[in-house]
Structure 1
């Protein structure tokens, strides 16, 4: 045991002596390794950094799987779901609106919806459409493009579409699946395009919807006046309320039986 301890002490002395003799070279090696590590990290950051959203949206080859993955990364969908909706395990990424089917009557913007798949606790079905990536905007403030994204529980979306709600049916009719299981999206198309909607049923649904939207509008207006909450929520609630009133007026002019095209037209 004494021999082992003596040998160990001699080894330590030898290492210390070598360190003194070669201190300049050791320091240079440490500095060089540190600089090299910084360069490697910087290259990895540049390589993995999401591309600018505008650069992706101007991409011409929309069938390129790499383009879809880059878009998915730029929209920060996985991070948003992990942060806000951890109970959902998968999702469909759908593009819809005027960016899919050009319409001169509508402004050119980019609309996406994420239909979340999973079984949330206590059967609570989530809907989220106040922002997109943790900030209020996806694109930069200097962007000329408008990007909007909604997070929605798949089943709640299906129920609303089956009830004849215009927004959900328009997404299904005009939307394009970018990422996710094709079977889920095809099921939405199949189950809704063959539906015949009853006009009086739609009227009752909209009357209930309008009642809730009126209360929300009044609540947002009160909170803005009393607590100085953002006017954005007043405008948003008022938009939904007024839009539903206009849509109800059109529904009352429909025939007894309504087709999906009639609902999408709203």
Structure 2
């Protein structure tokens, strides 16, 4: 035992002597390593969304790569949708259209390519609204990004859903295989939609959106979850009801332009005869378009709007 202690003391003494002799070199090495690490971090750190969008150049491949990193698409897919291996990044909405009214409003959709287990595909929008997502706390006033399964998106577009057809007609592919995006355009541009089939699809869609709204409403009341989730669910539910009312008035055969027009939700403002309810819906729409604050709409306003719609349908 004493020999082990003696060897340990000799080893420690030798180590201390070596450190004393080479102290300057060790300090220089540590400082150099820190500096190199900082340079690597700064060089590879994703740029702020605000900075990128102010200086956008959609034809600059470096800008697109920077945007892809800043939106944290690969990390989000690995975290939430690990079974998908590739994707299309598409920008759509007012920031793409010429003479846009809302140049600060940026909408992106990620169409994910892959074969999920058990055939379970993400059929509904997965908007980034939670605190750990890129477009919530720091960018909720500028950016909205949605993740969708490519084939489920294609099925919905082929059925005549307004949102999907609007993305196809107005969207701009920023990153991904252009053939997949062109396929969406080719399949839907000359397609005729059956009104009655679309009505049945909307009734199914509305049933799901009603359940989502009630779920978030219950969670807000019981657990104090964020009001934004209730507002977002209420927006989709109410808007689908309004769209369905218009679809019922269409001719038997519907063209793509007809369903795309339904995605321009401001057209529904005049559907309300009650000015207070009309203003409620206006505030709701502008809130989701990030022109108004979440505080500009209340949950009671959404309930009143739904009550008005029920009376309109009767």
TM-score interval for Structure 1 and Structure 2 normalised by the shorter chain: 0.7 to 0.9
> Does the aligned pair in 2 maintain the 1:80–1:133 contact within 8 Å?
no
**Offset at 1:202?**
1.4
Aligned length: 250
* Alignment of 1:41 onto 2:37: yes
> Does the aligned pair in 2 maintain the 1:220–1:234 contact within 8 Å?
yes
Residues 170-185 of structure 1 mapped to structure 2, 5 A cutoff: 170-185=166-181
Tell me how far apart the structure 2 counterparts of residues 95 and 259 of structure 1 sit (CA, whole Å): 23
**Offset at 1:128?**
5.2
- TM-score (ref. length: structure 2): 0.73
SS at match of 1:98: coil
- TM-score (ref. length: structure 1): 0.85
Partner of 2:152: 156
SS at match of 2:97: coil
1:94-119 CA distance string (max 9 Å, x none): 00011101465657400000000000
Task: Identify if the C-alpha distance between structure 1 residues 30 and 233 changes in structure 2 by more than 3 Å, giving closer, same or farther.
Answer: same
Tell me how far apart the structure 1 counterparts of residues 65 and 19 of structure 2 sit (CA, whole Å): 49
1:191-221 CA distance string (max 9 Å, x none): 0111101112212221222222223222322
Partner of 1:129: 126
Aligned residue among 192, 196, 209 for 1:196 = 192
* Larger Rg computed on CA atoms: 1
SS at match of 1:151: strand
Partner of 1:256: 252
Partner of 2:296: none
1:46-104 CA distance string (max 9 Å, x none): 10011111111122421111111000000000111111111111000000011101465
Tell me how far apart the structure 2 counterparts of residues 242 and 144 of structure 1 sit (CA, whole Å): 22
Partner of 1:8: none
* Alignment of 1:187 onto 2:170: no
Which region of structure 1 is more displaced relative to structure 2, 59-68 or 165-174?
Answer: 59-68
**Offset at 1:224?**
2.3
SS at match of 1:99: coil
For structure 2, which runs of at least 5 residues remain unmatched after alignment?
1-9, 263-314
* Alignment of 1:223 onto 2:219: yes
Pairwise CA RMSD: 2.5
* Alignment of 1:76 onto 2:66: no
For structure 1, which runs of at least 5 residues remain unmatched after alignment?
1-11
Higher relative contact order (CA 8 A, sep 6+): 1
> Does the aligned pair in 2 maintain the 1:130–1:136 contact within 8 Å?
no
Which region of structure 1 is more displaced relative to structure 2, 129-138 or 58-67?
Answer: 129-138
* Alignment of 1:30 onto 2:26: yes
Tell me how far apart the structure 1 counterparts of residues 222 and 136 of structure 2 sit (CA, whole Å): 32
Aligned residue among 199, 202, 208 for 1:212 = 208
Tell me how far apart the structure 2 counterparts of residues 207 and 47 of structure 1 sit (CA, whole Å): 51
